[in-house]
Amino acid sequence: MTRTIRAIAPTIALLPDAPNAPDAPRQDTRQNPTTSTPPSAQRRRRPSARILHRLAHPPRRSVRVLLGAVGVASVSVMLIVTGIPTSATARDVFGALRAPGEPAFIVGHRGDRASAPENTMTSLELAMDRLAYVETDVQLSRDGVPMLFHDTDLERITGDHRSVGDLDEAALRKLDVGAWYGDEFAGERMPTLDEFLSALAERPDARALVELKADWTADEARTVVDRIERHGLRGRVVLQSFSLETLFALQRVAPSTPRIMLIRELPADPVPLAQRLGLVGFGTTAKSVVAQPQALEALHAAEIAVLCYTLNSHEKWEEVGALGVDGIITDEPSELDEWLAVTAPGT
Cα 39 from Cα 326, distance rounded (Å): 78
Domain count, the chain: 2
Q: Residue 139's beta-bridge partner residues?
A: 147
243, with CB counted inside 10 A (0-12, 13-18, 19+), is middle
What per-residue confidence (pLDDT) applies to 240? 98
Q: For residue 287, what is the domain's CATH number?
A: 3.20.20.190
In a shared domain, residues 6 and 115: no
Domain boundary residue, one of 37, 58, 82: 82
What per-residue confidence (pLDDT) applies to 87? 76
pLDDT tens digit string along 236-245?
A: 999 999 999 9
Range of 220's domain?
A: 90-343
Cα 106 from Cα 340, distance rounded (Å): 10
DSSP state of 161: -
In a shared domain, residues 29 and 101: no
What per-residue confidence (pLDDT) applies to 219? 98
In a shared domain, residues 36 and 140: no
In a shared domain, residues 74 and 202: no
In a shared domain, residues 224 and 284: yes
In a shared domain, residues 77 and 151: no
Cα 261 from Cα 267, distance rounded (Å): 12
Cα 248 from Cα 251, distance rounded (Å): 5
In a shared domain, residues 94 and 53: no
In a shared domain, residues 128 and 63: no
Domain boundary residue, one of 49, 82, 115: 82
In a shared domain, residues 66 and 20: yes
pLDDT tens digit string along 103-140?
A: 999 999 999 999 999 999 999 999 999 999 999 999 99
Domain boundary residue, one of 47, 82, 117: 82
Amino acid letter for position 251 = Q
What per-residue confidence (pLDDT) applies to 60? 55
319, with CB counted inside 10 A (0-12, 13-18, 19+), is middle
Please answer whether residues 138 and 146 qualify as being in contact, where contact means their C-beta atoms are separated by less than 8 angstroms.
Answer: yes
Alpha helices in the chain, H assignment, sequence order = 2-14, 39-56, 61-82, 90-94, 121-130, 155-158, 169-173, 193-201, 218-230, 244-253, 271-277, 286-291, 293-301, 314-323, 333-343
- CB crowding 272-306: b at 16 or more within 10 Å, else e: ebbeeebbbbbbbbbebbeebeebbebbbeeebbb
In a shared domain, residues 131 and 199: yes
Cα 204 from Cα 125, distance rounded (Å): 13
User: Does the predicted model carry a pTM greater than 0.95?
Assistant: no
Which residue numbers in the chain have pLDDT < 50?
1-49, 51-56, 58, 61-86
In a shared domain, residues 163 and 196: yes
In a shared domain, residues 53 and 96: no
